[in-house]
Amino acid sequence: MKIAIIGTGYVGLTTAVVLSYLNHDVAGVDKDESKLTLLHEGKSPIHEPGIQNLLDEVWHTIRFTPSVAEVVPEAELILIAVGTPPKKSGEADTRHVEQAAREVAQVCLPDRHYTLVVKSTVPIGTNQRVVEVVEDVFAARGIRGNVSVASNPEFLQEGLALQGAFYPDRIVVGANSDEAIDTLRRLYQPILEQTFDPPSEFPRPSAYHLPPLMTTDPNSAEMIKYAANTFLALKISFINEIAGLCEEVDADVIEVARGIGLDARIGHQFLRAGLGWGGSCYPKDTAALLGVAAQSGYKMPITEAARTVNFRQRERIVEKLRAVLHTLEGKIIGILGLAFKPNTDDIREAPSLDIIRELLAEGATVRAHDPIATANARRALPDNNRLSFTEDIYELSYDTDALVLVTEWEPYHKLELRRLAKQMKTPILIDGRNVYSPEEARAAGFHYIGVGRT
Ligand code: UDX
């Protein structure tokens, strides 16, 4: 199938390489020149495990261009995967989605049928708005175009994006037209039936079941995306709230999570207590959902509380440091991990940024490390002669008053704790992701403080 994908960010690029791997004829469209330069050289602009190898593999068939007019007229299906950044009010800004729809409608041929699919996360009702935008352009062009609009929310998890794209739990399609649903069913057929040869880096999981294609109306499809993300966000906030109470009553949140996760109705996933969620989705989508609700005058206290608890986790880590060091003024703090989660260079809404800003504001000196997100964090944080970045964790820890583990990167699981503790001024380890066992850290000489553990 001939496909044009507008937007080559995390969602657009992942979708483009996966669909190309499944033998579709894919063109990616992006206006960002720096991204296009990299893509034209065959280099992925995003860090995502496996994406470079897959891009190399499909390089002879996939195309990237800045021009909608060059690829849309010939396409059968057009996917919009542009950003929906938050407005000041928290609501998602759909300007880029509408602009993309307008540009598509301007170049559609009058005698052809197109399926226009919104993959970006958008407020409920956007699908209908896209239908109106397209009709307005057709009216202005004086033609009767033939475009079916559908919603196909993306559930991509950064760091696991390709795994999730090849082996999704479900595919959701919201559409009012059977034609659009049929086109999307054909698009995803190799995934729905698992008829493709898995890439060597992404073997089919042995227990994997064929994913259902759930079809529904567009508003419900848009709501499914927000509701899924908000539910996961509040599951994490729930265990973090329990973690705080565990600290008060001498219980261990890891044991509690294990115990409640064994209940099949609750399940083990997303019950890791720690510094909470960041990234491009949960913070933005929970705010956007509250924005949608506010417009209807509807209150969502559970979603509000999930946000409060989440951002409080960052403050609580600084409070723990303050409590153990008495003051942060003049202290040297090592930060391990800047990315919002492991296996990505994404620092959007990362807990590290808030923690570092607060430490600097209180007069501490901060030395930070991340396996790959340092360049992005450097750009996001203010220039400050008390803030430095280093590639060597052992060098970072020398003479520090405390280390704070913010992101649970794999290399941090294997640190030589004894060596680290020895060269610090005071061997304090604040483990914001419960990577270490308290016994192990204490045996290595650390004063260990985790989240929700005694
Ligand atoms: C999420 C959804 O998983 C995905 O379906 C959606 O399309 C986009 O939003 P992502 O933001 O990439 O994906 O990451 P995810 O793995 O869900 O983790 C989000 C945050 O929650 C991370 O900061 C992570 O550290 C945190 N988290 C996750 C916890 O603190 N505890 C957990 O148990 C799980």
Question: What CATH number is associated with residue 196?
Answer: 3.40.50.720
Pair 10, 104 in one domain? yes
Residue 40 confidence (pLDDT): 96
Q: Whose CA is nearest to atom 27 of ligand 1?
A: 277
pTM for this entry: 0.94
pLDDT in tens, 314-368: 999 999 999 999 999 999 999 999 999 999 999 999 999 999 999 999 999 999 9
Return left, alpha or beta for 345; rule: phi > 0 is left, psi -120 to 50 is alpha, else beta: alpha
Task: Among 185, 204, 223, give the residue marking a domain's end.
Answer: 204
Residue 102, pLDDT score = 98
C-alpha–C-alpha distance, residues 137 and 144, integer Å: 10
Q: What's the number of domains the chain is made of?
A: 2
Q: Whose CA is closest to 420, among 437, 434, 402?
A: 402
Given a contact cutoff of 8 angstroms between Cβ atoms, the answer to whether 112 and 146 are in contact is: yes
| Tens-digit pLDDT profile for residues 109-165 | 999 999 999 999 999 999 999 999 999 999 999 999 999 999 999 999 999 999 999
- Regarding whether 51 and 174 lie in a shared domain, the answer is yes
Confirm if 184 and 149 have CB atoms less than 8 A apart. no
What are residue 146's DSSP bridge partners?
A: 113
Residue 148 falls within a domain, yes or no?
yes
The pLDDT of 310-316, averaged and rounded, is 98
Please name the residue whose Cα sits nearest to atom 10 of ligand 1: 157
Q: How confident is the model at residue 2 (pLDDT cuts 50, 70, 90)?
A: very high
Residue 176: pLDDT band with limits 50, 70, 90:
very high
pLDDT band at 181 (very low <50, low <70, confident <90, very high): very high
The two beta strands, 171-175 and 146-151, are antiparallel
Domain-ending residue, one of 204, 219, 245: 204
Helix, strand, coil share of the chain (percent; to 5)? 45, 15, 40
Q: For 211-262, what is each residue's pLDDT tens digit?
A: 999 999 999 999 999 999 999 999 999 999 999 999 999 999 999 999 999 9
Mean pLDDT of 89-101: 93
pLDDT in the model for residue 4: 98
414 within a domain of the structure (yes/no): yes
In the residue annotation, 246 being an active-site residue is answered as no
**Tokens standing for residue 191:** 């995934």
| Same-domain pairing of 7 and 129 | yes
Say if 407 falls within a structural domain: yes
Distance from the CA of 232 to the center of ligand 1, in angstroms? 8
- What mean pLDDT, rounded, does the chain reach? 97
pLDDT at residue 91, rounded to an integer:
85
Domain-embedded: residue 107 = yes
Q: Is the pLDDT of residue 89 over 90?
A: no
Same domain, 194 and 314: no
Q: Which of 55, 181, 281, 420 is catalytic?
A: 281
Structure tokens at 439: 């016994």
Ligand 1 atom showing the smallest separation from residue 164 Cα: 5
Stretch 22-35: mean pLDDT: 97
Average pLDDT over residues 281-286: 95
Q: Work out the average pLDDT over 417-423.
A: 96
Say what the pLDDT of residue 90 is: 83
How far apart are the CA of 144 and the centre of ligand 1, in A? Answer: 43
Overall average pLDDT of the 447-453 stretch: 97
Task: Please state, as a whole number, how many other Cβ atoms lie within 10 Å of the Cβ of residue 216.
Answer: 15
**Region label for 291, one of left (φ > 0), alpha (ψ between -120 and 50) or beta (otherwise):** alpha
Residue 434's pLDDT is 98
Based on the fold, state whether residues 193 and 302 are members of the same structural domain: no
Ligand 1, atom 23, lies closest to the CA of: 277
H-type alpha helices, 279-409: 282-295, 301-325, 351-361, 374-380, 393-397
196 shares its domain with 294: no
* Same domain as 31, residue 117: yes
Instruction: Write the residue with the smallest CA distance to atom 1 of ligand 1.
Output: 157
pLDDT value of residue 36: 97
Q: How many angstroms separate the alpha carbon of residue 277 from the centre of ligand 1? A: 6
Q: Report percent pLDDT > 90 for the chain.
A: 98
Q: Which residue, 204, 226, 249, sits at the end of a domain?
A: 204
Task: State residue 427's pLDDT score.
Answer: 98
Q: 139 in a domain, yes or no?
A: yes
The Å distance, Cα 156 to ligand 1 centre, comes to: 10
| Mean pLDDT value across residues 412-433 | 97
219: in domain: no
Determine the structural domain holding residue 388 and report its residue range: 282-449
In the reported structure, the alpha carbon of residue 317 is separated from the centroid of ligand 1 by a whole-number distance in angstroms of 20
> How far is the C-alpha of 27 from the C-alpha of 17, rounded, in Å?
10
CA angle 231–82–34, rounded 5-degree value? 125
Q: Is residue 264 part of a domain?
A: no
Indicate whether 88 pLDDT > 90: no
Lining residues, ligand 1, CB within 6 Å:
154-158, 229, 232, 236, 270-272, 274, 276-279, 281-282, 340-341
Does residue 292 sit within a domain?
yes
